[in-house]
Structure 1
Amino acid sequence: MTGLHVRLTGADVLTPDGLQKVPLILDAGRIADGDGAAREVDLSGYIVLPGIVDVHGDGFERHLAPRRGAMKDIDQGLVTAEAELAANGITTAVLAQFYSWEGGMRGPEFAERVMTGVAQVRGNVVTDLHTQLRFETPMLDDYGAALEFIDRHSVAYCVFNDHLPHVALEKGKQPKGLIGKSLRIGRNPEVHLAMMQEMHARRAEVPAAVDGLSAALAARGVRMGSHDDRSAEARAEWRARGATLAEFPETLEAAEAARAGGDAVIMGAPNVVRGGSHNGNVSAADMVMMGLVDALASDYHYPSLRRAAFFLLDAGVCDLATAWGLISAGPARILGLSDRGALVPGMRADLLVLEMRTRRVAATLAGGRISYLQGDVAQRFLGG
């Protein structure tokens, strides 16, 4: 399917020069130039903005397992997750999936099911779905398997994580929540603790292993990033490996080092909406104000992307074009998707229609195809 052939009129359209009341022609899945014949859709009273590009989100997980152990129909869960993406104006989504020692929905076996499921549904949904693998670096015995996994599923984006509770393990303490977490994934708590202790004891081997894996991924052209950087030194180490995306840096020092080194900085939209980090890390809104953020990600909450952009606008942090760029053009650029993020001729017809007064999503189109449509706008598009 090639998308609608329509001429959108009457709306305030977010152009590179700001909001303008200009017509927008969609044809063959693209923004078209000129005034060729097309059915007119009057969107007076609405705002049309570039489709949202979510560079990192794991909110899809709740659709895959509505209750503990209920994870049989991965493909159906992903279809439902795609509906939520569309309802929130997201036209391109990176589904962030763990490959972790933590097991359960973060374990390698579940990652296999998710990647297989995405491949199955990708051609049957409108939203452009991409994947990211979040690899836990303490898994020294899994580096070969992880590389084979990445090759088999053509993973184009990998982020390195380390969620091992090193501080508690170094002190010989039982990590907080160990029993509940281990039982939740069906693992004996003592076995789970022993596994964590063994990985912690081998932590000195991790840098060399990461060097090897990152070199292999760089040779394959895989995009790489680090997660939760805390220092300029750590950011420099990741940059040297080719991991030039800094996801959710926890300190201003790390973010400034990323910017100074030409790396892209990704922060969480929920951090902006909440007015700060839920665990005391640096404020994303403050970082935006300082010009240190290239993109906002949904993280765990898809509605926060749109809300964060308007929060920044209403708070006077930046204008709408700049705020919206953090959830459209910015993440598109980070992902190497040069065909989206702006409503100009030749670009993909990725857009959302917002009610001017409430700022609710009334319609979402990806590649000129409708992925979400409701209310009065539905009647306008359908000609009723």
Structure 2
Amino acid sequence: MIITNVNLVLENEVVKGSLELRDGKIASMSDTPSQVSGAYDGENGLLMPGFIELHTDNLEHYFTPRPKVDWPPFSAMSAHDTQLVGSGITTVLDAVALGDFSDEKRKTDLDLFINTVVESQRRNLTRIDHRLHLRCEVPHASTLELFERFVDYPQVQLVSLMDHAPGQRQFVDVEKYRIYYQGKHNLSDSEMAAYESKQVALSQTYSEKHRNEICRQCHQRGISTASHDDATIEHVLESKQLGMTIAEFPTTVEAAKKSHELGLKVLMGAPNVVRGGSHSGNVAAHELASLGVLDILSSDYYPISLLEGVYKLAEDERNSLTLPQAVHLVTKNPAEVLKLNDRGLISEGKRADLVLARMVDGHPLVDRVWRQGKKVF
């Protein structure tokens, strides 16, 4: 098929022209409109590579749309998939939490969650490419065992290591930790104090041991690893020494700058960009973009934020990002870090995973999505 009358977001420029797709790949490009009868008219929209999402917890919301409500798994998967494709995402790593089972439902749903992703792909039930991201909460006794149970699934593309114990990383400010978890679990002051003490003890017992062993096994298998919430230079040096390739949600400028300097790709949340800052009081993504140390955006908990985040960063005069560079944050850069060399750019021979977007009343909206040349939205 041919897509014509579009603004092609290429690696280093935006070109008005047309695109020919054949056998699921980009066959050729032109900087002139196509005269072929039946070509799809993009009506001057913006044609980008399909977005690649590395970290989203979105599927959990569909499995349990309300407390004590279980939704049929393949129906939940279909609803999740539909929201993602409608947000321009064509490749996603669905994140699964291992070890942190303060919410008992996460534990009981774990196998169901993972098997639904695996079976949906095997039976071709989804519109986009779903893979797995194992989020390993390292300060828990069961984390390593669960990691070893799932790590050899071929869908596993990324493993991140996180420690949410109070007083460090995301929760350097212990008061913010108390506000978040006391409200989440409805704890009294005395119960909250006991909960804090337990999390600190677990971190001291398991965190370093699990972090080292999980990284060792990932490197043996060639699986990419990510740090999470690095806050200090020491955190970053440890991540580099362990061979990690992504710095997820660094909480300070110094941690982000050091990660970037050492070659770790700095990943921040697109909701942070859309909202203008972090909801937990940490560093703002737009500040890292202005410093030239922002490499990847993740939608985290709100899929459409990828598209909105790209537009906001490209229009933000506080940084020097061009539109192609902003688009790289959700296409080329995540593809490279996962070694998905067949996608992430509009280029001859690449997969025809494409997003057509346009502005409506000042807001970017997804108009069409193709996966391997097939229209899926």
User: What range describes the TM-score normalised by the shorter chain of this pair?
Assistant: 0.7 to 0.9
What is aligned with 2:333?
330
Structure 2 CA distance for aligned equivalents of residues 105 and 118 of structure 1? 20
Q: Per the alignment, in what secondary structure is the counterpart of residue 229 of structure 1?
A: coil
Alignment of 1:103-182 (within 5 A): 103-104=102-103, 107-122=106-121, 123-151=124-152, 155-165=156-166, 175-176=178-179, 181-182=184-185
What is aligned with 2:95?
96
Structure 1: unaligned runs, 5 residues or longer = 1-5, 373-384
Root-mean-square deviation (CA, aligned residues, Å) is 3.0
Partner amino acid for 1:203? S
Structure 2 CA distance for aligned equivalents of residues 183 and 107 of structure 1? 18
Contact 1:156 1:221 in 2 (8 A): no
Partner amino acid for 2:16? K
Deviations 1:135-186 (A, max 9, x none): 1111134422321232357523110111233579xx9xx94465664479xx
What is aligned with 2:50?
51
What is aligned with 2:73?
74
Alignment of 1:275-294 (within 5 A): 275-294=276-295
Q: Per the alignment, in what secondary structure is the counterpart of residue 354 of structure 1?
A: strand
Structure 1 CA distance for aligned equivalents of residues 20 and 143 of structure 2? 50
Structure 2 CA distance for aligned equivalents of residues 33 and 106 of structure 1? 49
Alignment of 1:13-52 (within 5 A): 13-33=8-28, 39-52=38-51
Partner amino acid for 2:97? F
Query: How many residues are treated as equivalent by the alignment?
Result: 363
Cα gap change, 1:278/1:254 in structure 2, threshold over 3 Å: closer, same or farther?
same
What is aligned with 1:232?
233
Report deviation, 1:371: 1.7
Cα gap change, 1:166/1:67 in structure 2, threshold over 3 Å: closer, same or farther?
same
What is aligned with 1:375?
none
Overall identity of the aligned pairs, in %: 28
Contact 1:182 1:189 in 2 (8 A): no
Cα gap change, 1:201/1:46 in structure 2, threshold over 3 Å: closer, same or farther?
closer
Contact 1:126 1:369 in 2 (8 A): no
Structure 2 CA distance for aligned equivalents of residues 90 and 277 of structure 1? 23
Deviations 1:13-70 (A, max 9, x none): 1122422122100111100037998841122332211111112111232222111122
Q: Per the alignment, in what secondary structure is the counterpart of residue 126 of structure 1?
A: coil
Q: Structure 1 residue 368 and structure 2 residue 373: aligned?
A: yes
Contact 1:45 1:356 in 2 (8 A): no
Report deviation, 1:190: 9.2
Q: Structure 1 residue 61 and structure 2 residue 56: aligned?
A: no
Contact 2:138 2:211 in 1 (8 A): yes
What is aligned with 1:7?
2
Structure 1 CA distance for aligned equivalents of residues 372 and 167 of structure 2? 45
Structure 2 CA distance for aligned equivalents of residues 52 and 119 of structure 1? 21
Contact 1:75 1:120 in 2 (8 A): no
Cα gap change, 1:34/1:133 in structure 2, threshold over 3 Å: closer, same or farther?
closer
Report deviation, 1:200: 2.5
Q: Per the alignment, in what secondary structure is the counterpart of residue 11 of structure 1?
A: strand
TM-score where L is the length of structure 2: 0.87
What is aligned with 2:314?
313
Structure 2 CA distance for aligned equivalents of residues 337 and 38 of structure 1? 34
Cα gap change, 1:29/1:190 in structure 2, threshold over 3 Å: closer, same or farther?
farther
Q: Per the alignment, in what secondary structure is the counterpart of residue 346 of structure 1?
A: coil
What is aligned with 1:201?
201
Report deviation, 1:227: 0.7
